[in-house]
Amino acid sequence: MRPVREHATNTQQAYMVTTSTWGRRDLFRNERWANLLMDTIYHYRGSAYLLHEFVIMPDHLHAIITSLTSLEKAVQFIKGGFSYRAKKELGSNMEIWQKGFSDHRIRDASDYRIHAIYVRQNPVRKHLCEKAARYPYSSASGRFELDSVPQGLKPSEEVESCGAPEGAPFQSKTVDCPQIEKPVAKDQ
């Protein structure tokens, strides 16, 4: 049984969220589907959430966002918005998403860095590309505008290690750790 989620109504708090396709189908291997999800994510960016990092994998989505409403509503905008558009624009009548999503509240700069690396390196770990920057549906590609990381969560550029405190989720197991490039800040 899935644990009950504490309602994340605290806005201006960054979270890593993960949601998967129904039956873990590889829907986003299809370029049209992946591009439509990308378009949906950016449609709600700025009104429902701030977008700091993301990767669209063939069967799931990881994103680090700061909710501007509630976390549940932010994810609902992505999933519901995409489902609506897939039906309308792609003629899909199938169930697209698994129910619910998982989340992790980003606690500090070190935690942000660990999760940002996890998001960016996911396509490499799954052998979809050799370098994260070459995966087209990821913030690691450098092709997408991202929102600034919230104050207090900005990773230190001097950090040399990807190692996480004992027991941290998504702890990097690699020795060769990529540096996180600074995202392009949204004009304000």
The residue to which tokens 């913030």 are assigned: 139
Q: What is the DSSP secondary-structure string of 86-140?
A: HHHHH---S--B-SS-EEEE--SHHHHHHHHHHHHHHHHHTTS-SSGGG-TTBGG
- One digit per residue, the tens of pLDDT, for the chain of length 188 reads 455 445 545 567 999 999 999 999 999 999 999 999 999 999 999 999 999 999 999 999 999 999 999 999 999 999 999 999 999 999 999 999 999 999 999 999 999 999 999 999 999 999 999 999 999 999 999 999 999 998 878 776 533 333 333 333 443 333 233 444 444 444 43
76 SS3 class: helix
Among candidates 69, 78, 76, which has minimal Cα distance to 47?
Answer: 69
Residues 34, 55: Cα–Cα separation, whole Å: 10
Residue 37 is inside which H or E element, if any? Answer: helix 31-44
Task: Report the DSSP beta bridge partners of residue 102.
Answer: 18
Confidence at residue 170, expressed as pLDDT on a 0 to 100 scale: 43
Confidence at residue 157, expressed as pLDDT on a 0 to 100 scale: 55
Confidence at residue 152, expressed as pLDDT on a 0 to 100 scale: 78
| Residue 160 buriedness (CB in 10 A; 0-12 / 13-18 / 19+) | exposed
Q: How far is CA 5 from CA 11, 71, 141, in A?
A: 16, 11, 32
Which domains can be identified in the chain, with CATH numbers? 14-141 (3.30.70.1290)
Confidence at residue 92, expressed as pLDDT on a 0 to 100 scale: 95
Phi-psi region of 31 (alpha: psi -120 to 50; beta: other; left: phi over 0): alpha
Confidence at residue 180, expressed as pLDDT on a 0 to 100 scale: 42
Residues 20, 49: Cα–Cα separation, whole Å: 19
